[in-house]
Amino acid sequence: NAGVTQTPKFQVLKTGQSMTLQCAQDMNHNSMYWYRQDPGMGLRLIYYSASEGTTDKGEVPNGYNVSRLNKREFSLRLESAAPSQTSVYFCASSVPGRETQYFGPGTRLLVL
Amino acid sequence: KQEVTQIPAALSVPEGENLVLNCSFTDSAIYNLQWFRQDPGKGLTSLLLIQSSQREQTSGRLNASLDKSSGRSTLYIAASQPGDSATYLCAVIRLDDYKLSFGAGTTVTVRA
């Protein structure tokens, strides 16, 4: 039981490049989330998926797209990376109606 | 919009001293509150979850209180150890959609 896994662990991009961050969970959770964490700030919600086939914007969705590929996987895509998207990205999952979210180890992204 | 503040941003104490970490929030309408631990370069681990109707939760050396009327929660860690060194984050959880609003965290260093 690996919990929530994220790939890659670290990535360097040039401005304008695109990439997809992958997230998978093996806990049979319906809800999945993408957050970003910046120095001196709390985690901020980018997008979430309450169930397979649905996605909704969070607090800071601009510049990102998401895909809920199936119940296990939820990917985050940067179409044209900008230096402001340099951050640590966390994926999380939960059971609907249960408050506790389980977090992955994070992806550290540097955009030059 | 919910604002969550954690003061101080950093704290250094000698081993054995009790730790007191503060979390304040602006909107106390029906919310739960959760405390997380984050080790450097790692994801978040849930420590304690306080339901909206509760005033405190305890787990081992950890005790968290919730005062909704004043918009505050406090995490107490008794008899601190070097292994307690980490960043501690609080998050307020909306009960309609279970979205989390995070504070920026308090980074704790316990000196041996």
**Of A93, A84, A50, which is closest to residue A64 (Cα–Cα)?**
A84
The H or E element containing residue B64 is: strand B62-67
Structure tokens at B54: 């509760």
B37 and B48 Cβ atoms separated by less than 8 Å: no
Residue A67: exposed, middle, or buried by beta-carbon count in 10 A (0-12, 13-18, 19+)? middle
More reliable by pLDDT, B111 or A101: B111
Show which residues on chain B lie within 8 Å of chain A, measured between beta carbons: 4, 9, 32, 34, 41-46, 49, 89, 91, 93, 97-105
Whole-angstrom distance, CA of residue B48 vs CA of residue B46: 6
A54 band by pLDDT with thresholds 50, 70 and 90: very high
- pLDDT category at A98 given cuts 50, 70, 90 is low
Considering only CB atoms, which chain A residues are within 8 Å of B104?
A: 40-42
* pLDDT tens per residue across span B49-76: 998 888 999 999 999 999 988 999 999 9
Question: Which burial class, exposed, middle or buried, applies to A11 when counting CB atoms under 10 A from its CB (0-12, 13-18, 19+)?
Answer: middle
Q: How confident is the model at residue A96 (pLDDT cuts 50, 70, 90)?
A: low
